[in-house]
A and B are shown apart, each in its own frame.
Chain A
């Protein structure tokens, strides 16, 4: 069973890609089990749509982050332009 709806749910826009994806996977699995009440199913459906949109937006906006490590120090890495 998925997280109960009573559990505090973060707005989809605040989730990381991982969080959104794993919740989306859960929702798909729950819906496909077909055990949920209609009202719950509709809520899951809407939540699933929001999560999918969030994932898509994150994919669209993704930019490779490159950091440089020296010992314990982690700094942004400036690439040389080509």
Chain B
């Protein structure tokens, strides 16, 4: 389709020829340039191409578009990257950088310049690395190393935190500061290891094993930000396997938010940065602990107060029961009984006395009836001898002329025996 259409253009002269023999046709610059542009832009290969070279003449004007020249030993290629693509760049472009640029070839007509309209730029070699990354990821995934079911929970309150990272990096300093701020109660076991270069993978594997031997509650494997090559040790198969095999749960914090390594997939938890990893390792902070203690203290005090109040009211109710059962009441009732008895005693005594006195009265009456005075009242008299006062009951007891005394009912009178008869 392409060929047929531009053949048609070439074969169509711009003007009718003035000469019989064929002469080169004449194009306007615009026409020719347009023609060239069509040629290039209709070529599928040129519209989806990766170009490798060194960045030079890099310029970033205020418009936000990026202009540079890609060159190698023998050639150069003008490149432009529009603002929207430039904003998505994951690497920071510098002159002299060896890169691979993806885009389409187009023509800038005002300057008659063909150029590459770039939409992606990656460091040289990344393409091959990325292929390797994908291959290894698929392999380990198929083995189940990244299975979500393998992920273990991160303990909320770790006592020992293992850290595998470079002993000299900013990442370690950031993590220690974070741990110091959040959970200074913890003990940190650092297994230092180079984190980039060819010695890094075996050293990382050893460090993971060493730190595991100290039985930490959680392990952080971390590295600060860097280029994808800098982070490459964390895509190493042996390192990834060591992370997956770790006895303690592993938090990975490698590079920046946007960087994903195979270690991140194998870890029990992925943190976007080393600092974030230290935060995720300390879900319970010292502030939380202090709050918990204060809360317990409050509960104990509340409880003690409640208990004392309850015991006091229990005691009060027992005291009132005790009062009810007190011997005082019995004493009272005994006293009452005694009173009662004494009352009964007194009244029976009175009764007795009354009884006795009426008996006495009866006797007195009977006595009275027997009294000699009563006989006198009936006209009898009692005669006594004057000289010795003896009662005269026989005639023989007196001689004529003897003085006697005669007692009648209301008094006595003297008399003289006149004559005796027997």
* A and B: bona fide binding partners: yes
List residues of chain A with CB under 8 Å of any chain B CB.
17-18, 21, 24-25, 27-28, 31-32, 34, 38, 41-42, 45, 48-49, 52, 55-56, 58-59, 62-72, 74, 77, 79-80, 82
**B282-315 residues at the A interface, CB under 8 angstroms:** 286, 289-290, 292-294, 296-297, 299-300, 303-304, 307, 311
Q: Chain A residues near B294 (CB, 8 Å)?
A: 52
Q: Chain B residues near A49 (CB, 8 Å)?
A: 297, 300
Contact of A69 among B179, B210, B290, B297 (CB under 8 A): B210
**Distance between Cα atoms of A82 and B176 in the complex (Å):** 12
Most-contacted residue by chain B among A17, A32, A77 (CB, 10 A): A77
B188 near A66 with CB under 8 A, answer: yes
Q: Is B189 an interface position by the 8 A CB rule?
A: yes
B299 near A32 with CB under 8 A, answer: yes
**Contact status of A68 and B289, CB under 8 A, knowing A31-B300, A48-B300, A63-B184:** no
**Distance between Cα atoms of A17 and B210 in the complex (Å):** 26
B293 near A56 with CB under 8 A, answer: yes
Q: Is B66 an interface position by the 8 A CB rule?
A: no
**Distance between Cα atoms of A21 and B297 in the complex (Å):** 11
**Contact status of A28 and B299, CB under 8 A, knowing A62-B184, A68-B192:** yes
B185 near A58 with CB under 8 A, answer: yes
**Distance between Cα atoms of A60 and B203 in the complex (Å):** 37
Closest 3 CB pairs of A and B: A62-B184, A48-B300, A52-B297
Q: Chain A residues near B290 (CB, 8 Å)?
A: 56, 59
B296 near A52 with CB under 8 A, answer: yes
List residues of chain B with CB under 8 Å of any chain A CB.
159, 167-168, 173, 176, 179-180, 183-192, 207, 210-211, 213-214, 286, 289-290, 292-294, 296-297, 299-300, 303-304, 307, 311
**Distance between Cα atoms of A66 and B316 in the complex (Å):** 59
Closest Cβ of chain B to A28, distance in Å, is: 5
**Distance between Cα atoms of A59 and B159 in the complex (Å):** 13
Q: Chain B residues near A34 (CB, 8 Å)?
A: 303, 307
B190 near A77 with CB under 8 A, answer: yes
Contact of A62 among B185, B303, B307 (CB under 8 A): B185
Extra contacts, 16 of them, besides A21-B289, A48-B300 (Cβ < 8 A), are A17-B185, A18-B159, A24-B293, A28-B303, A32-B299, A34-B303, A41-B303, A45-B303, A49-B300, A59-B290, A64-B180, A64-B183, A67-B189, A77-B188, A79-B176, A82-B173
A68 near B299 with CB under 8 A, answer: no
Contact of A24 among B159, B190, B207, B296 (CB under 8 A): B296
Interface of A is mostly: helix
Closest Cβ of chain B to A38, distance in Å, is: 5
Q: Chain A residues near B293 (CB, 8 Å)?
A: 21, 24, 52, 55-56, 59
Q: Chain A residues near B190 (CB, 8 Å)?
A: 66-69, 77
**Distance between Cα atoms of A67 and B167 in the complex (Å):** 11
Nearest chain B residue, comparing its CB with the CB of A30? B303
A38 near B299 with CB under 8 A, answer: no
Closest Cβ of chain B to A47, distance in Å, is: 9
**Distance between Cα atoms of A69 and B214 in the complex (Å):** 9
Nearest chain A residue, comparing its CB with the CB of B188? A66
Contact of A71 among B159, B180, B210 (CB under 8 A): B210
**Distance between Cα atoms of A34 and B173 in the complex (Å):** 49
**Contact status of A64 and B179, CB under 8 A, knowing A59-B289, A59-B290, A71-B210:** yes
**Contact status of A59 and B286, CB under 8 A, knowing A38-B307, A45-B300, A69-B189:** yes
**Distance between Cα atoms of A51 and B300 in the complex (Å):** 11
**Contact status of A64 and B184, CB under 8 A, knowing A32-B299, A38-B311:** yes
B289 near A55 with CB under 8 A, answer: yes
Write 15 A-B pairs (CB below 8 A) sorted by A numbering: A25-B296, A27-B300, A31-B300, A41-B304, A64-B187, A66-B187, A66-B188, A67-B187, A68-B189, A69-B189, A69-B207, A72-B210, A72-B213, A74-B214, A80-B173
